[in-house]
Amino acid sequence: MMHQGETGMEFEHTSVLLKETVDNLRIKPDGIYLDGTLGGGGHSYAIASALSSEGRLIGIDQDEAAIEAAGRRLKPCQDRVTLIRDNYCNARHALKQIGIDKVDGIVLDLGVSSFQLDNSERGFSYRYDTTLDMRMDLRQSLTARDIINQYTETELYRVIKDYGEEQFAKNIAKHIVKARADRPIETTGELNEIIKAAIPARMRAVGGHPSKRTFQAVRIECNRELEVLRESLDDLIDLLSPEGRICIITFHSLEDRIVKTAFRRNENPCVCPPDFPVCVCGQVSRGRVISRKPILPSEEEMETNKRSKSAKLRVFCRS
């Protein structure tokens, strides 16, 4: 994927699990569909291309650059596409503003898009030495720099351990606090060096880039990604018309667990003790889980698109 910038070229973005997601949406040509994480517009383009002039696609993203890039990509379908700059957690309100109460399908492709990773100034990637930013919405005040320089050692340890599932979280937090005592940590390059020094050399040789897990953790914390997901799922399921489907692609176990739990709870919300002969709690199932096990990328996709390796797709159908 290339970012429009020094090369002047339009970026190309390969969406993960594209065919599997579109197939599972069971697109109706005149239906209304929501892409809550527009990104480069790959899923949106595939959905919009399957719609008639009566159909409609609403794309939401909090990243202004993503809205602009997706707008260019979706130009051929612009008569049936509406783009909104917002967070998908506000989808109900955003849709209401344009007179929509229900949709026939929803897609969430979670995590950071390759469009954002390849934009070197944003500070999402450990591959570029740039300012520690990591905000998906540049209107937000909290940055990765604030987290790295202002969180206590205990808070940093919690973030890196919980969100990065990093076994050396304690040591990394300790090294960050020690380094910033001399002067603030300003760049991704500086943070890379600190992380590297905190991980034993023999462990650095295996398991990918030493900064990968810590950068993921700080990004999740900066953008409240897990809270947003947890707080939004019931609401999104509520937006679906009968037989409408929600397809969610996750990239790490924490996200996947939240989605799996929410889908199961919506399928079977009964809270009665297991020994009760009949349900008395009055909780009614809101649909069914289509994917008992997550749908994984094909071997071919994993070879051609490295980002897809950790991807999992789960699908829920509204009753």
Residue 137 lies in a domain: no
Is there a single domain that holds both residue 166 and residue 285?
no
Is there a single domain that holds both residue 149 and residue 167?
yes
Report the C-alpha gap between 275 and 104 in whole angstroms.
37
Q: Among candidates 224, 258, 239, which has minimal Cα distance to 91?
A: 239
pTM recorded for the entire structure: 0.91
- Span 111-136, mean pLDDT? 83
Q: Among candidates 105, 34, 45, 46, which has minimal Cα distance to 70?
A: 45
Residue 301 lies in a domain: yes
Is there a single domain that holds both residue 169 and residue 205?
yes
Is there a single domain that holds both residue 22 and residue 111?
yes
Boundary-marking domain end, from 223, 253, 273: 223
Q: What confidence score (pLDDT) does residue 185 get?
A: 98
Residue 13 lies in a domain: no
- Residue in the block written with tokens 């008639």: 52
Is there a single domain that holds both residue 157 and residue 245?
no
Integer Rg of the chain from CA? 21
Q: What confidence score (pLDDT) does residue 40 get?
A: 87
Is there a single domain that holds both residue 207 and residue 288?
no
Q: What confidence score (pLDDT) does residue 8 get?
A: 33
Domain of 172, CATH number, reads 1.10.150.170
Is there a single domain that holds both residue 210 and residue 239?
no
Residue 35 lies in a domain: yes
* Structural domain boundaries, residue 98: 18-115+225-318
Number of domains in the chain: 2
Residue 131 lies in a domain: no
Residue 126 lies in a domain: no
- Span 79-100, mean pLDDT? 97
Boundary-marking domain end, from 223, 254, 280: 223
Q: Please return the burial class of 273, using the count of CB atoms within 10 Å of its CB with bins 0-12, 13-18 and 19+.
A: exposed
Q: What confidence score (pLDDT) does residue 138 get?
A: 92
Q: Among candidates 248, 43, 205, 224, which has minimal Cα distance to 142?
A: 224
Is residue 131 within 8 Å of 121, Cβ to Cβ? yes
Read off the pLDDT of residues 266-306 as tens digits, 9 standing for 90 and up.
Answer: 999 999 998 999 999 999 999 999 999 999 999 999 999 88
Which band of pLDDT confidence, cut at 50, 70 and 90, is reported for residue 115?
A: low
Boundary-marking domain end, from 205, 223, 241: 223
Residue 124 lies in a domain: no
Is there a single domain that holds both residue 110 and residue 232?
yes
| Cα angle for residues 229, 296, 235 (degrees, 5° grid) | 25
Read off the pLDDT of residues 22-81 as tens digits, 9 standing for 90 and up.
Answer: 999 999 999 999 999 999 899 999 999 999 999 999 999 999 988 999 999 999 999 999
Is there a single domain that holds both residue 51 and residue 192?
no
Q: What percent of the chain has pLDDT over 90?
A: 82
Q: What confidence score (pLDDT) does residue 6 get?
A: 32
Is residue 90 within 8 Å of 239, Cβ to Cβ? no
